[in-house]
Amino acid sequence: MLNNKQLKWLSYITCLVMFLATFGGMVVTKTDSGMGCGQEWPLCNGKFVPAYTVSSMIEYSHRAVSGMAGLSALASLIAFWAYKRDRRDLVTYSVLTSIFVVLQAIMGAMAVMAPQSAAVMALHFGFSLIAFASSVMLALGMRRLERAREPKDLEQLPRVGKGFRNLVWGTTLYSYIVVYIGAFVSHTDSREGCSGWPLCNGEVIPELTGGVGIAFMHRVAAALLLLVVAIMAHFAFWRHRENREVQMLGVSAVLLCLMQVLSGPLLMATLHNDEIYIFAALGHTLLISALFGVLSYLSVRVWQLSRPFKAMPHDERAVPYRKSV
């Protein structure tokens, strides 16, 4: 039988492997290595061990790590279903991780064997991001449960209001939309649609057609996301001073969002320098992935803290409901 500490480390391993799989997918996209193994799956150019070309090794390594992600997600699902069935939140995280890692693997295989539209390929990254965020929530949730044995962690948790809960949920949903638009920019090769920054082709509002319209829409969506996250972080920090966790998650979200938006000009500056652009693009994508993970976990926490205290998980002591903005 697995104890809490062992389950915690299993969740950590799953989260790490999911991160590597997500990161590998980013590398495949940014280096245009998607066809490094030809139109074959699971073999690579007809071989189990491919020829040592850069594109084939990048693509095949990503496939191998994705397979490991699937196995680790399955192991977590079995373990948490067997030993933590009473914790519906943890079981739900493990189920979501397993479902979306399988979906993104299927979509990846389909993309290799038959050309897919840019809209479908953007969903491929979106699904992998949900799988990663679910594994992050599983690891953080299990860490909280394992640490709750210590008296210092058995503190009374202040409640949050439904208004703030809905704001966090809306922010998280909108961040996913922005992620999808960004992936759509990459898969439609619209990166050069807007030259210059902050203006787009020297104009405040350019002609909204083709790649220009797609790139400009992503810029506007990202700027609006920063505003929404800043508002949410304001309420998280100033209206929930008794809840350090909510405060820090809000601060982390706004800092990650600000860094992600500021990395946009770096992308524009390195667009024609392949050696530097690949690192700038990966950093840009990693930041939005981290932001979505933080917002996803905060969404779960505010949901738990907005419920009546009797419905709280058994390992956390609650206090009578105190509504806050």
Residues with a known catalytic role: 59
**45: part of which helix (H) or strand (E)?**
none
Amino acid identity for residue 227 in this structure: L
CA distance 286 to 26: 9
Sign of CA dihedral 295, 127, 132, 223: negative
**84: part of which helix (H) or strand (E)?**
none
CA distance 321 to 309: 7
Task: Sort residue 227 into left (φ over 0), alpha (ψ -120 to 50) or beta.
Answer: alpha
Contact assessment for residue 65 and residue 21, using Cβ atoms and an 8 Å cutoff: yes
Query: CB under 8 Å, gap of 24 or more: what pairs does 30-37 form?
Result: 30/186, 30/278, 30/281, 30/282, 30/285, 31/55, 31/58, 31/278, 33/58, 33/59, 34/59, 34/111, 34/112, 35/59, 35/112, 36/60, 37/63, 37/112
Six token digits for residue 117: 């539209």
CA distance 234 to 49: 52
Amino acid identity for residue 176 in this structure: Y
* DSSP state letters, 229-266: HHHHHHHHHHS-TT-HHHHHHHHHHHHHHHHHHHHHHH
Contact assessment for residue 148 and residue 8, using Cβ atoms and an 8 Å cutoff: no
Amino acid identity for residue 320 in this structure: P
CA distance 35 to 120: 17
